[in-house]
């Protein structure tokens, strides 16, 4: 039989209402009593009856705001949000999508956030544009209304009112992994290990943290960073910058691309095979890039699984709203995974879209 709140209350000699408050994280109960209730609930294998909970509360509304482009990256985020919405369908929770064109269109994002002030969702799951200051006032207004804000994959300022959490990879670790990988793979017999970095936008937090992590670990592996190129996620710009880079540094040892957009770099090297000794490390997985991994134009990639990050961000918002997750447990930075060409077939989902 399922353990109920009354069963726990009966064992402890307290009211079922006190048990309910403790399990939902409410503040009007002592920490000593809460700890005892949580311990007893675990011992009695208590699991909440979500169906019953849903019947007695109003419908929860979560707004999922995200960019559509770059498509190769964000279509997996979209799928993650939709998977979470499906999982919550029977929990009296509705997830409404508010897509905006791309990371480069903060004005459209600002307009969406302005409209949400009238719609007043119960929680906001947001994937940020990099020009945060353009829409910060609208985000602060939503926060002042007490709407919990959880950043998904690409984050913004954590000082806005009602900031509740974030779900993303640890970008500093990504950068440090990139430096260690390149420093280890490159032959120790090379006199110099010249490395170039390609970033989407130097002002975007995700890229800044990747660069900071890389630079913090570069000296340890005798890596010399010759330049950092800003691409604005334009494949044509990436292709042209790669050619210009190799003309300046024909003895280049490696390239680290901090974004999904390493395809332009790979295209250039496929056309100029005399530079086959340059090690290229990228980020993420999607079909066209996966093929570059299999042919070893791209040596390796750092995978962040944005589908799962997006899915979890929506589920975290729901669990926070229903008292199943504390605020401190809504702040998660996951470790990236280094993926080589021989591993690509083990990620079939990331061969499906694109």
What CATH number is attached to the domain comprising 213? 3.40.50.2300
Give a yes or no: residue 348 inside a domain: no
Residue 32 · residue 12 · CB < 8 Å: no
State what percent of residues in the chain have pLDDT above 70: 95
CA dihedral sign, ordered 42, 47, 52, 53: positive
Domain ranges, residue 278: 171-303
State what percent of residues in the chain have pLDDT above 90: 74
- When pLDDT is cut at 50, 70 and 90, the band that residue 354 belongs to is low
Burial of 310 (0-12, 13-18, 19+ CB in 10 A): buried
Claim to verify: residue 210 and residue 110 sit in the same structural domain: no
pLDDT at 102: 93
Q: Is the pLDDT of residue 54 over 60?
A: no
Average pLDDT over residues 29-50: 81
- Phi, psi (degrees; rounded to nearest 5) at 26: -70, 155
Lowest pLDDT segment from 28-42, 147-161, 234-248, 289-303? 28-42
Give a yes or no: residue 351 inside a domain: no
Q: Which residues pair with 195 in a beta bridge?
A: 225, 254
Could you write out the DSSP letters of every residue in 284-345? Answer: ---HHHHHHHHTTSS-EEEE--HHHHHHHHHHHHHHHHTTSS-GGGGEEEEPPEEE-GGGGG
Convert the pLDDT of each residue in 116-137 to its tens digit: 999 999 999 999 988 888 999 9
Residue 79 · residue 286 · CB < 8 Å: no
pLDDT at 27: 60
pLDDT at 333: 97
**Mean pLDDT for the chain?**
92
CA–CA dist 320, 327 (Å, integer): 7
Lowest pLDDT segment from 53-57, 287-291, 313-317? 53-57
pLDDT at 30: 84
Q: Is the pLDDT of residue 329 over 70?
A: yes
Higher pLDDT, 39 or 309: 309
Convert the pLDDT of each residue in 61-81 to its tens digit: 999 999 999 999 999 999 999
Angstrom CA distances, 273 to 118, 226, 254, 276, 277, stand at 57, 22, 15, 5, 9
Give a yes or no: residue 312 inside a domain: yes
Claim to verify: residue 226 and residue 107 sit in the same structural domain: no
Give a yes or no: residue 87 inside a domain: yes
Give a yes or no: residue 339 inside a domain: no
| 245 DSSP assignment | H
Residues with Cβ within 8 Å of 347's Cβ and at least 6 positions away in sequence, in order, are 285, 290, 303, 339
Claim to verify: residue 290 and residue 329 sit in the same structural domain: no
Claim to verify: residue 310 and residue 164 sit in the same structural domain: yes
Residue 97 · residue 80 · CB < 8 Å: no
Beta strands in the chain (DSSP E): 60-69, 93-102, 123-126, 149-152, 163-169, 193-199, 223-230, 254-257, 279-283, 300-303, 331-334, 337-339
CA–CA dist 270, 260 (Å, integer): 18
pLDDT at 44: 86
Residues with Cβ within 8 Å of 306's Cβ and at least 6 positions away in sequence, in order, are 73, 74, 76, 77, 80, 153, 284
Claim to verify: residue 326 and residue 278 sit in the same structural domain: no
pLDDT at 26: 63
Q: Taking the complete model, does pTM exceed 0.85, yes or no?
A: no
| Domain count within the chain | 3
CA–CA dist 285, 349 (Å, integer): 10
- When pLDDT is cut at 50, 70 and 90, the band that residue 95 belongs to is very high
Q: Is the pLDDT of residue 230 over 50?
A: yes
Closest alpha carbon to 276 in 245, 306, 297, 300: 297
Task: Compute the CA torsion angle 8, 14, 19, 21 (nearest 10 deg).
Answer: 180
- When pLDDT is cut at 50, 70 and 90, the band that residue 56 belongs to is very low
Convert the pLDDT of each residue in 231-278 to its tens digit: 988 999 999 999 999 999 999 999 999 999 999 999 999 999 888 889
Give a yes or no: residue 272 inside a domain: yes
Claim to verify: residue 112 and residue 226 sit in the same structural domain: no
CA dihedral sign, ordered 290, 294, 299, 302: positive
- When pLDDT is cut at 50, 70 and 90, the band that residue 49 belongs to is low
Average pLDDT over residues 206-214: 96
pLDDT at 35: 83
Lowest pLDDT segment from 12-26, 184-198, 308-322? 12-26
The domain that contains 17 carries what CATH number?
1.10.260
Claim to verify: residue 74 and residue 162 sit in the same structural domain: yes
pLDDT at 253: 95
Give a yes or no: residue 347 inside a domain: no
Average pLDDT over residues 149-168: 95
Claim to verify: residue 193 and residue 284 sit in the same structural domain: yes
- When pLDDT is cut at 50, 70 and 90, the band that residue 23 belongs to is confident
Residue 95 · residue 317 · CB < 8 Å: no
Chain centroid to Cα 271, Å, comes to 33
Lowest pLDDT segment from 42-51, 172-181, 207-216? 42-51
Q: Which two tokens stand for residue 163?
A: 């900031």
CA–CA dist 259, 200 (Å, integer): 6
| 351 DSSP assignment | G
């Amino acid at each position: 039989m399922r353990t109920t709140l009354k069963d726990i209350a009966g064992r402890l000699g307290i009211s079922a209402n006190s048990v309910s408050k403790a399990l939902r994280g409410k503040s009007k109960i002592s920490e000593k009593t809460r700890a005892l209730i949580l311990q007893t609930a675990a011992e009695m294998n208590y699991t909440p009856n979500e169906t019953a909970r849903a019947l007695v509360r109003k419908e929860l509304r979560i707004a999922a705001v995200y960019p559509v482009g770059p498509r190769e990256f964000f279509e997996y985020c979209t799928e993650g949000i939709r998977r979470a919405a499906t999982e919550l369908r029977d929990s009296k929770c509705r997830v409404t999508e508010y897509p905006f064109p791309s990371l480069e269109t903060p004005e459209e994002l600002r307009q969406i956030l302005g409209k949400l002030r009238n719609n007043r969702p119960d929680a906001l799951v947001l994937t940020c544009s990099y020009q945060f200051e353009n829409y910060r006032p609208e985000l602060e207004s939503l926060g002042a209304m007490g709407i919990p804000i959880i950043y998904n994959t690409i984050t913004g300022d954590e000082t806005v009112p009602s900031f509740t959490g974030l779900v993303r990879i640890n970008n500093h670790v990504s950068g440090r992994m990139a430096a260690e990988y390149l420093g280890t793979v490159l032959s120790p017999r090379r006199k110099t290990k010249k490395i170039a970095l390609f970033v989407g936008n130097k002002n975007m937090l995700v890229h800044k943290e990747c660069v900071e992590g890389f630079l913090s670990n570069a000296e340890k592996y005798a890596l010399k960073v010759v330049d950092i190129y800003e691409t604005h996620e334009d494949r044509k710009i990436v292709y042209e910058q790669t050619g210009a880079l190799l003309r300046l540094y024909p003895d280049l040892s490696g390239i680290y691309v901090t974004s999904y957009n390493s395809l332009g770099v790979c295209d250039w090297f496929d056309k100029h095979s005399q530079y086959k000794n340059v090690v290229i490390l990228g980020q993420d997985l999607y079909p066209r890039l996966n093929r570059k991994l299999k042919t070893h134009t791209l040596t390796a990639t750092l995978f962040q699984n944005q589908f799962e990050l997006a899915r979890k961000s929506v589920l975290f918002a729901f669990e926070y709203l229903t008292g199943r997750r504390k605020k401190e447990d809504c702040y998660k930075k996951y470790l990236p995974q280094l993926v080589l060409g021989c591993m690509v077939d083990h990620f079939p989902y990331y061969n499906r879209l694109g």
